[in-house]
Chain A
């Protein structure tokens, strides 16, 4: 039943290709159609944000892309291969960072464990761990346990773990929803900096409209559940972004207003066919 998507200009170099994805949660007696029909692509090295109202199926989408959840129909193609389970070269930063880190391991062990699974040689492993923790500003916390750190620090450990893994694609599910505004701004800049430095492809889910515009090269706005793509908004802001100047730029305000109106309409139940 998969109809080949027309494919935009980036289709040829697409790293991630989501085709007519549909997900129905089978409950007792009745199913919940969380995602109805999602089609989009993400090019190699792109940073794409996904926004949508609460309950729009953003987490569901991400878990399907990550191979943690089987879709009802449609498919996810990553680097030319259909995703049926967690693919190699992918890292996920979960919203519940506190529960995603293992409390019985130190910060270093948390970051190192996935590399051991990848059979990275020891010297290389130590270098990657040190570099990743350095990059997120946690060079001094190698031997702490996650529960000895603040929320923002814990989230940075989760990011360091993902970065040290050297993924081709990084999936982030509302990673900053539970940290304070200042930490959040810092972490946003950290993600942009790491993305630029590593050339990794990032799919960033958020419900924060400002954040999506500030971070993304493109923002995909979802309708409410059952979910379809409402609009893809290219973000034509300069590549160098800065919390103060970017956020006060006229173009930022315009884009932000546009996305805001889209999300507002999505909440009111507007759908593309209407």
Chain B
């Protein structure tokens, strides 16, 4: 479930000559190629600069942006909306997931409801959100919560299902109280799933946060993107898109690092740790 970097396997002795370059070097080379294309294609006249300015212009527009208070304010609004939405969705997903997953009757009763509600794309709720909250931040929050909640809930439901029957019977035979069973058996089993759900939810939450800002016009980077677009500041628009992309990368990396830290005991992480 959680991919682990394969650098452990690459530490072998000898065979120095034909060793393929490490993954991060390849990744970096790919990025460099992309920026080179972005720089050269407009300059060579392959695309019109009005639609795609050279990369260096995006960078300098980004530097300009970073000097304005509006940019930082928008960035903060975006991060805030994203974090609040994700926190609500995660908390609700975990609690409801454990309750629904832990009670077979409830699970059976609700599974078809979940299967119906889950595939509804969050953006379909935009009209409803606007009706309820207008262009406030809460409008976008509704979308963010709705979208990321299902990611977390579904993973937690899988996780609760994954409790080993032998571990469960062990807990029962030693007369663990119900709450202890949840805390010491169910929760650690579900934790890898919870973290996966959190990681997926974090990505979806960011998408919906930006979408909401763009379409509804609630404050944030998405709204700034719309503003730069209408005012024809194309390089600035791209600069903001790059910032949003970087946030996405950072969020994913942080979530993965947290996973590795929390799941040191898990087969996908534990490796050869000696205590």
Contacts and interface: CB of A to CB of B under 8 A. Distances in A.
Interface in B144-194: 164, 166-167, 169-170, 172-177, 180, 184-185, 188, 191
Nearest to B270: A147
Contacts of A103: 265-267
Contacts of A105: 184
Contacts of B29: none
B275 interface: yes
B175 A88 contact: yes
A150 interface: no
Interface in A67-118: 67-68, 85-86, 88, 90-92, 94, 96, 99-100, 102-106, 113-114, 117-118
A94 B275 contact: no
Given A147-B270, A148-B273, A102 B174 contact: no
22 contacts: A68-B172, A85-B172, A86-B172, A86-B175, A88-B175, A90-B173, A92-B169, A94-B170, A100-B166, A102-B185, A102-B188, A103-B265, A103-B266, A106-B275, A114-B174, A114-B175, A114-B176, A117-B175, A117-B176, A118-B175, A145-B270, A165-B174
Interface of A: 63, 66-68, 85-86, 88, 90-92, 94, 96, 99-100, 102-106, 113-114, 117-118, 143-145, 147-148, 165
Given A147-B265, A148-B273, A68 B169 contact: yes
Contacts of B191: 104
Chain B interface residue bracket vs A:
20 to 34
Given A144-B275, A147-B265, A147-B270, A99 B173 contact: no
Contacts of B265: 103-104, 145, 147
B173 A92 contact: yes
Interface in B243-275: 265-267, 270, 273-275
Nearest to B175: A86
Contacts of A148: 273-275
B175 A102 contact: no
Contacts of A86: 172-175
Contacts of B174: 86, 91, 113-114, 117, 165
Interface of B: 164, 166-167, 169-170, 172-177, 180, 184-185, 188, 191, 265-267, 270, 273-275
Contacts, number: 65
A144 B273 CA distance: 10
Given A99-B164, A102-B184, A145-B275, A92 B177 contact: no
A117 B177 contact: yes
A88 B175 CA distance: 7
B147 to A, nearest CB: 30
5 tightest Cβ-Cβ pairs between the two chains A and B: A114-B174, A99-B166, A104-B188, A92-B173, A104-B265
B167 A99 contact: yes
A92 B274 contact: no
Contacts of B185: 102
Contacts of B273: 148
Contact of B184 (A66, A67, A91, A113): A113
